[in-house]
Homo-oligomer: A and B are copies of this chain.
Amino acid sequence: MELTTVRELYKNQDKYIGQTISVGGWVRSIRDSKSFGFIVLHDGTYFETLQIVYHDKMSNFAEISKLNVGAAIIIKGELVATPDAKQPFEIQAAQIEIEGASTAEYPLQKKRHTLEYLRTISHLRPRTNTFQAVFRVRSLIAYAIHQYFQDRDFVYVHTPLITGSDAEGAGEMFQVTTLDLKDVPKTKEGQIDFTQDFFNKPTNLTVSGQLNGETYAMAFRNIYTFGPTFRAENSNTTRHAAEFWMIEPEIAFADLNDDMMLAEGMLKYIINYVLEHAPEEMNFFNQFVDKGLIERLTHVASSDFGHVTYTEAIEILEKNNDNFEYKVSWGTDLQTEHERYLTEEVFKKPVFVTDYPKDIKAFYMKMNEDNKTVAAMDLLVPGIGEIIGGSQREDDFDKLVNRMKEMKLNEEDYGFYLDLRKYGSTRHAGFGLGFERCVMYLTGMSNIRDVIPFPRTVNNCDL
């Protein structure tokens, strides 16, 4: 079918004004008087709508006037400039074909629906303004991330989803199995008989692709992952989902400074990309979801990010302990209130906090010379707190083995990982960006359920 999109009409209106064209889309609203009527049409390709004018000269005028919100129609007519109206043009319909009717019970009427209500109709909510904006921006952010890394010749690596190991050593994981749950086979000793399971051993859904990613960085030098990760955490908050996407770049012959430059460059790239490619959507968020959003993002994109060590940060925060719910001292992990204070009040821009105490960080992070801190970094941004966490990796075989012993990790489970330190080890670093958190940050949406098409959370796995 040769249909012109609404996006195309807005982008190249000079080409189409005065022309007869065909457009397909869905009725957002309709009002009629005796001899003519107006339809506000949305075709899904562009945030803005298109006004259709129809007349009683059309043979199916009565039928059209009775259309319900949500109906799908195809209009043929002339695109006419409307310099005095709020919309730049409209279609004077010569013919309207009804593709698919709707009903008076259509769950999306022309009124304000709450986000909570819309969550109950996740198959229909993308038809609303808010979710049109959210999910187009989500798509653009994903593409901007690919573009950023591919332009720099990074190799995109698909790390596995089903895994026999627990990368972080401590995740709450979903089990994956083909065993009959009603009658799980057991060995003579009463253990689960995993020889009958699909993979011949217990398997889980991954919590991170990092360790696998490192093996590829030691081959391609610069790689990134972008895929789903899972947490079976019983947290019913606005920031936790059981299934979410992560981006995990890993760079070899690189240290923590290179890592921070990569993260800073990426975040600025994404912001600029979205502001440029989705101005209508971003204006919508700025106006209706999070006033000040565009100013904040523009500021971030043009700031040189700050740098502070964890030890310095604690000194700063301790002076303000009276105002914190959780008091800080050296050795404690930072809470969102501390992170936001640092980035919003102290630095007034994004800030990297580096060199955390080893005891609050993962086993694979590179030990600093003080033997107390590790070469880790968290990027804190105004309005949200931590958005990126990364580190230089321990590339010394002996130090890594020692650290694993201290943390009671089983060396045998990490043979492949230790091999990377045995055969041509080199300094390398990486970070993780939670994709949904990034989408929330760029749209101002405050509940993770509203930035995932079909969110999975505790007790919720609809559609």
Q: Which residues of A contact B (CB under 8 A)?
A: 1, 3, 5, 7, 24-27, 43-45, 70-72, 74, 99-103, 106-107, 122-124, 126-127, 131-132, 135-136, 138-139, 142-143, 146, 150, 153-165, 172, 174-179, 181-182, 184, 191-192, 198-201, 203, 205, 212, 215-216, 218-222, 227-228, 230, 232, 234, 242-243, 245, 252-255, 258, 395, 416-417, 419-427, 452-454, 456, 458-463
Contacts and interface: CB of A to CB of B under 8 A. Distances in A.
A154 to B, nearest CB: 8
Given A132-B219, A162-B205, A215-B463, 5 more contacts: A24-B253, A99-B426, A122-B215, A126-B220, A198-B234
Contact of A160 (B175, B198, B243, B395): B243
Given A203-B461, A219-B126, A463-B416, A453 B156 contact: no
A177 B181 contact: yes
Nearest to A254: B1
Contact of A44 (B126, B156, B220): B220
A199 B456 contact: yes
Contacts of A215: 122-124, 126, 463
Contacts of A155: 135-136, 139
10 contacts: A26-B424, A124-B219, A158-B245, A158-B452, A160-B456, A161-B228, A164-B463, A174-B198, A198-B242, A199-B456
B156 A99 contact: no
Given A1-B255, A126-B220, A253-B99, A425 B175 contact: no
Contacts of A24: 252-253, 426
A313 B384 CA distance: 59
Given A126-B219, A181-B177, A423-B103, A164 B461 contact: yes
A3 B123 contact: no
Contacts of A423: 70, 100, 102-103, 106-107, 124
Given A106-B423, A164-B461, A45 B153 contact: yes
A74 B230 CA distance: 38
Nearest to A143: B150
Which 9 pairs between the two chains have the least Cβ-Cβ distance? Answer: A100-B425, A126-B219, A44-B221, A24-B253, A199-B461, A123-B215, A72-B424, A72-B426, A139-B156
Contact of A103 (B178, B205, B422): B422
A159 B453 contact: yes
B205 A424 contact: no
Given A198-B232, A199-B461, A426-B72, A162 B243 contact: yes
Contacts of A132: 219-220
Nearest to A219: B126
A459 to B, nearest CB: 4
A461 B212 CA distance: 13
B1 A258 contact: yes
Contacts of A160: 243, 453-454, 456, 461, 463
A136 B154 CA distance: 9
A316 B191 CA distance: 57
A178 B146 CA distance: 33
Contacts of A426: 24, 72, 99-100
A229 to B, nearest CB: 10
Nearest to A459: B200
B159 A71 contact: no
A31 to B, nearest CB: 18
A70 B219 CA distance: 10
Given A45-B220, A160-B456, A201 B153 contact: no
Contact of A175 (B165, B176, B228): B176
Nearest to A125: B219
A254 to B, nearest CB: 6
A451 B357 CA distance: 40
A72 B422 CA distance: 10
Given A175-B176, A182-B184, A161 B243 contact: yes
A249 to B, nearest CB: 13
A158 B70 contact: no
